[in-house]
């Protein structure tokens, strides 16, 4: 790689968590036939073919931790090969092309500082655990951003992120170079803005990516301006599933593009971590807070009523209801942990990724940080409370608000996670907030089927209760 202009493809690989929160199994999804569910179909259309094309060695990418967890169980070898390909790049350049992602794909600007820290630290821990080195960058779910989120990224060692061009608070933006965003206390972070038109074409115009040679010469090369005084990078960002799933055979396009076509047009391939080593951000930019890449109304798509999805009256009460539930759960968590554990209960939650990643058993984790014997009932209660906090993080998975109606698997799952969190907290503390939660969820209704969130909540609480009865009989 030299000082030639360079192109970077970023793939955001992610799926909504479809597992039933009690069984951990994904229910059969008829639309994904002949496969049992969408994860499996997309695996065969996209994740695996991209491994076979060695694309994870050359593109910038992030894989959502919850998807990684599924992949690890479904096809360990494919997961290992993704990591191997990224590691080859890391060894070659001293910096990797993989990016971390906030753990539960939560819209971070809509969360408290404490929740941001948990999501970021769990996401980084997941990356470190799997790839064996620290990431340079972190993908923000839906590229949703505010200054506090960027500050938390920097505090945890993250050096860059990728945003949409309209998230810059600046009319004339030159996306062929990274920018620096200044933060309080002299901190700063690098932001790469993707090229909007090219990213849109890659995503929605299959004709543009039918031939890698033509893509390089006709679509990409004219976007570089030799009159610019700096070396230029152009970045196209999209969902990773585009390559092979949304558009068949595009894994082959990627491979040919990155190994042949770019080179023929005098264009290098690169990725942000490497690019910023050689071309550090020189210009400063301010960002527009509470904006994202898939809602042009800020982050309203996940919190209220905007034209991205019609009939979205259910979204605001849904978020408000879950926030109230979270607040109650946190009060119980904090007050009970204060009795039992000498340390900071929130530090304990931030570190819980060690259990999620099977680095420590819950018993060892609690013994290490709480100075308590796990055989005691207190140790057991701490374990339940931490598991409840995990469910409480899951219930803010952004997919629950992304679509047009409440009666879909994604919002229903968020309610199921909330029910689990309420139930586990009850088991640990003896205090039930079930009735309050039901009241808060009542205003959330599907405009399509009439299903309401409190009915879903009650269903899952009942299942948890029945489960408990079965367990105690054994």
The residue ranges that bind Zn ion (CB under 5 A) are: 295, 297, 301, 306, 308
Burial class, 239, CB count within 10 angstroms (exposed 0-12 / middle 13-18 / buried 19+)? middle
C-beta of 144 vs 388, nearer to Zn ion: 144
CB of 293 to Zn ion, least distance (A): 11
Residue with tokens 């340079």: 136
45 vs 142, which CB is nearer to Zn ion?
142
Rounded CA separation 82/91 (Å):
14
Nearer of residues 18 and 301 to Zn ion, judged by Cβ: 301
Asked if residue 343 lies in contact with residue 334, where contact means CB atoms within 8 angstroms, the answer is no
How far apart are CB 450 and Zn ion at their closest, in Å?
Answer: 25
Residue with Cβ nearer Zn ion (308 or 427): 308
Of 308 and 357, nearer to Zn ion (C-beta) is 308
What Rg, from alpha-carbon coordinates, does the chain have?
23
Shortest Å, Cβ 113 to Zn ion: 25
Q: What are the b/e assignments for 157-195, b being 16+ CB within 10 Å?
A: ebbbbbbbbebbeeeebebbbbbbbebeeeeebbbbbbb
Could you give the angle at the alpha carbon of 93 between the alpha carbons of 91 and 99, nearest 5°?
A: 85
Between 223 and 297, name the residue whose CB sits nearer to Zn ion: 297
How does DSSP classify residue 251? H
In angstroms, what is the minimal distance from the CB of 284 to Zn ion? 28
Phi, psi of 357 (to 5 degrees): -95, 10
- State residue 288 phi and psi, 5-degree precision: -90, 115
Phi-psi region of 116 (alpha: psi -120 to 50; beta: other; left: phi over 0): alpha
CB-nearer residue toward Zn ion: 301 or 381? 301
Cβ neighbours of residue 294 under 8 Å, at least 6 residues apart?
A: 142, 301, 308, 402
Residue closer to Zn ion, measured from CB, 180 or 297: 297
> H or E stretch including 179?
strand 179-182
Distance (Å, whole) CA 457 – CA 437: 8
Closest approach, Cβ 158 to Zn ion, in A, equals 27
Min CB(305)–Zn ion separation in Å: 9
Nearest-approach distance from CB 326 to Zn ion, in angstroms: 23
Q: Which is nearer to Zn ion, 306 or 372 (CB)?
A: 306
The least distance separating Zn ion from the CB of residue 163, rounded to whole angstroms, comes to 17
Comparison of 250 and 301: residue with beta carbon closer to Zn ion: 301
Instruction: Give me the least distance between CB of 447 and Zn ion, in Å please.
Output: 17
306 versus 455: smaller Cβ distance to Zn ion? 306
Least distance from Zn ion to the Cβ atom of residue 114, Å? 27
The side-by-side arrangement of strands in the sheet containing 283-284 is 160-163, 188-193, 179-182, 283-284
Spacing of C-alpha 400 from chain mean position = 13
Task: Determine the Cα–Cα distance for residues 295 and 362; give it in Å rounded to an integer.
Answer: 39
3-state secondary structure 400-459: HHHCCCCCCHHHHHHHHHHHHHHHHHHHHHCCCCHHHHHHHHCCCECCCCCCEHHHHHHH
Quickly list DSSP for 314-367. Answer: THHHHHHHHHHHHHHHHHHHHHHHHHH-SS-HHHHHHTTHHHHTTSS-HHHHHH
Largest CA distance in the chain: 77
Least distance CB 358 / Zn ion (angstroms): 38
Find the length of the chain.
474
Least CB distance from residue 300 to Zn ion, whole Å?
Answer: 5
For Zn ion, the closer CB: 264 or 311: 311
On whether the CB atoms of residues 443 and 321 are closer than 8 A, the answer is: yes
């Amino acid at each position: 790689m030299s000082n030639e202009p360079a192109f970077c493809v970023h793939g955001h690989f992610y799926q909504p968590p479809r597992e039933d929160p009690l069984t951990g199994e994904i229910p059969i999804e008829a639309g994904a036939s002949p496969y049992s569910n969408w994860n499996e179909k997309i695996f065969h259309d996209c994740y695996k073919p991209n491994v076979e094309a060695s694309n994870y060695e050359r593109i910038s990418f992030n894989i959502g931790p919850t998807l990684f967890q599924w992949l690890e169980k479904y096809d360990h070898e494919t997961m290992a090969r993704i990591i191997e390909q990224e590691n080859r790049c890391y060894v070659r350049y001293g910096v990797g092309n993989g990016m971390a992602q906030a753990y539960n794909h939560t819209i971070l600007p809509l969360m408290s500082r404490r929740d941001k820290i948990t999501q970021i630290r769990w996401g980084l821990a997941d990356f470190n655990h799997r790839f064996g080195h620290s990431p340079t960058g972190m993908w923000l779910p839906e590229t949703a951003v505010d200054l506090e989120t960027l500050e938390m990224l920097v505090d945890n060692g993250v050096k860059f992120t990728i945003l949409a061009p309209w998230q810059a608070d600046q009319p004339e933006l030159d996306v062929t170079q990274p920018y620096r965003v200044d933060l309080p206390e002299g901190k700063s972070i690098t932001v790469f803005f993707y090229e909007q038109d090219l990213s849109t074409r890659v995503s929605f115009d299959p004709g543009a990516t039918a031939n890698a040679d033509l893509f390089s010469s006709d679509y990409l090369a004219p976007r570089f301006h030799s009159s610019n005084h700096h070396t230029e990078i152009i970045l196209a960002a999209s969902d990773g599933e585009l390559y092979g799933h949304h558009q068949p055979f595009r894994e082959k396009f990627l491979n040919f593009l990155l190994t042949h076509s770019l080179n023929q047009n005098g264009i290098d391939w690169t990725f942000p971590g490497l690019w910023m080593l050689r071309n550090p951000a020189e210009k400063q930019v301010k960002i527009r807070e509470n904006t994202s890449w898939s809602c042009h109304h800020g982050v309203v798509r996940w919190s209220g009523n905007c034209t991205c999805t019609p009939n979205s009256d259910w979204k605001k009460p849904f978020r408000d209801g879950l926030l109230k539930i979270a607040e109650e759960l946190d009060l119980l968590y904090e007050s009970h942990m204060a009795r039992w554990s000498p340390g900071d209960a929130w530090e304990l939650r931030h570190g819980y990724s060690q259990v999620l990643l099977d680095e420590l058993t819950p018993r060892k984790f609690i013994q290490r940080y709480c100075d308590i014997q796990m055989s005691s009932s207190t140790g057991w209660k701490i374990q339940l409370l931490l598991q409840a906090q995990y469910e409480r993080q899951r219930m803010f998975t952004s997919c629950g608000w992304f679509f047009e109606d409440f009666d879909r698997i994604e919002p229903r799952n968020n309610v199921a996670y909330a029910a689990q969190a309420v139930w586990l907290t009850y088991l640990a503390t003896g205090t039930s907030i079930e009735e309050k939660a039901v009241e808060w969820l009542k205003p959330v209704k599907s405009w399509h089927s009439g299903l309401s969130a409190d009915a879903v909540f009650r269903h899952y609480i009942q299942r948890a209760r029945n489960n408990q009865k079965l367990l105690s009989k054994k």
